[in-house]
Amino acid sequence: MIKDMFQVLAENGRARPELEPKLPPSDLQKLYALMATTRAADLKALKLQRQGRMGTFAPSLGHEACQVGSAFALQRKDWVFPYFRDLGTYITLGLPLKNYFLYWMGNEEGMRIPADLNIFTISVPVGSQLPHSVGCALAMKYRKEQAAVVAYFGDGATSEGDFGEALNFAGVFKTPNVFICFNNQYAISTPVRRQTAAKTIAQKAIAYGFDGIRADGNDVLAMYALTREALEKARTGGGPTLIEAFTYRMGNHTTSDDASRYRMEAEVKDWSRRDPIERFRRYLRDKGLWDESFEDHVQKEAEDLINKAIEEAESTPPPRPEDLFIHTYKDMTPELNDQLAELRDLLKGGPR
């Protein structure tokens, strides 16, 4: 395994007791359930996509520990700026699963984030959400709200100008930001060695004047413990932190991608031995917190949740013409009114 990486659970599931976060057994089981639900929902989404019931999306397979572990450390007042591979983050933070399916089925309604969740909308242009997270953190500071702001992104994003600009801003203004990079080794086909000549992504923080640390991204307890610490530091005026979650994208970049074109099967196999869920399962089993009946229970609950979400998403009617117009500005402009009227008229006439 990689050296100089923060790890609580070894690959065999054995914990280093001095590093174990103090979580009650119920929370440990909850972490497991969230990861299992994430995987089940992700695999289900893949099936739906193959059946033509969902559009292109970015699978989260292999990211369960870094997504769930980090998000589990957040408090409700904290803000989250996701990227586009965040299923476990959403599930952990309580975004209705229906929203996730609905969005990737091609309905904007899916990104209507409930008002009581401080989750920002998806950011597809790579790395461009990082400046938003810094602005949000500046606002928290100005308003003296003791809240932290998390931004998620991949290793590819660290090559973008917005990464450098945003982390530099954060360092200069000592903002309450936590930057969490899921270094899953690939940006579509481009391996991380083509993104940077630096040994780690974490070390980039040094140049911006704050701490960076690399965590084992397949170790849910490591991700939880580090994120919690960074959030606490941010909330209490200690400034930003960069966390590099060292992980692996087990699936394709998106459902339109074929990773076998650019990476070796042996590499994928090697990483599959470090599966984040299996590792945590061994840990729980050793603690007496996991058995077959618990697994059955978790899987059953996940299945019910997922099926209900899909049913809700698939029974959501497609947008009406006006739904596509009314959110362009606060008020409709005369030109938009004209175009909407023309579209309605066209629809009334049916196909010509």
Partner 1 sequence: MMLNMVQALNQAMHQEMEKDPRVVVLGEDVGLDGGVFRLTEGLLEKFGPERVIDTPLAESTIVGASIGMAVAGLRPIAEIQFMGFIYLAINQIIAHAARLRNRSRGRFTVPIVIRTPYGAGVKALEHHSESTEALFCQIPGLKVVVPSTPYDAKGLLLASIRDDDPVIFLEPTKLYRAGRQDVPEDPYEIPLGTAKIVREGEGVTIVAWGAMIPVAQQAAEIVGKDGIFPEVIDLRTLSPLDRETVLESVRRNGRLLIVHEAPKTCGLGAEVAAFVAERAMFQLDAPVLRITGQDITVPLAKGEDYYYPSPERVARGIKKIMES
- Is 253 part of the annotated catalytic residue set? yes
> Does residue 345 bind partner 1 (CB under 8 A)?
no
> Does residue 134 bind partner 1 (CB under 8 A)?
yes
What amino acid occupies position 213? Answer: I
Catalytic entry in 249, 274, 279, 281: 249
Complex with partner 1: residue 132 or 249, whichever CB lies closer? 132
Alpha helices in the chain (DSSP H): 25-50, 64-72, 87-93, 97-104, 130-142, 161-173, 204-207, 220-235, 265-272, 276-286, 292-314, 321-325, 334-349
> Does residue 169 bind partner 1 (CB under 8 A)?
yes
> Does residue 333 bind partner 1 (CB under 8 A)?
yes
DSSP letter string, 274-335: T-HHHHHHHHHHHTT---HHHHHHHHHHHHHHHHHHHHHHHTSPPPPHHHHHTTSSSS--HH
Alpha helices in 94-218 (DSSP H): 97-104, 130-142, 161-173, 204-207
> Does residue 221 bind partner 1 (CB under 8 A)?
no
Nearest CA to 156 out of 177, 131, 181 is that of 181
- Is 262 part of the annotated catalytic residue set? yes
> Does residue 330 bind partner 1 (CB under 8 A)?
yes
Q: CA-CA distances (angstroms) from residue 40 to 48, 60, 186? A: 12, 10, 23
> Does residue 125 bind partner 1 (CB under 8 A)?
yes
Number of residues that bind partner 1 (CB under 8 A): 45
**Are 222 and 2 within 8 A, CB to CB?**
no
* Stretch of residues binding partner 1 (CB under 8 A), selected from 20-28, 44-52, 295-303, 329-337: 329-337
Of the candidate residues 106, 189, 328, 347, the single one contacting partner 1 (CB under 8 A): 328
Complex with partner 1: residue 170 or 222, whichever CB lies closer? 170
Cα distance from N-terminal residue to C-terminal residue, the chain: 64
Exposure string over 102-114, b if 16+ CB within 10 A, otherwise e: bbbbebebbeebe
Of the candidate residues 10, 43, 146, 168, the single one contacting partner 1 (CB under 8 A): 168
Of the candidate residues 83, 90, 120, 210, the single one contacting partner 1 (CB under 8 A): 120
Complex with partner 1: residue 8 or 134, whichever CB lies closer? 134
Complex with partner 1: residue 141 or 233, whichever CB lies closer? 141
- The encoded tokens of residue 283 equal 């840990």
Residue located via tokens 């959030």: 231
Binding mask 88-117 for partner 1 (x = CB under 8 A): --------------------xx-xxx-x--
> Does residue 122 bind partner 1 (CB under 8 A)?
yes
> Does residue 343 bind partner 1 (CB under 8 A)?
no
> Does residue 79 bind partner 1 (CB under 8 A)?
yes
Complex with partner 1: residue 148 or 215, whichever CB lies closer? 148
Catalytic entry in 39, 63, 214, 253: 253
**Are 93 and 115 within 8 A, CB to CB?**
no
Which residues in this chain contact partner 1 in the complex, by CB under 8 A? 79, 81, 108-109, 111-113, 115, 120-125, 128, 130-143, 161-162, 165-166, 168-169, 172-173, 326-330, 333-335
Active site residues: 249, 253, 262
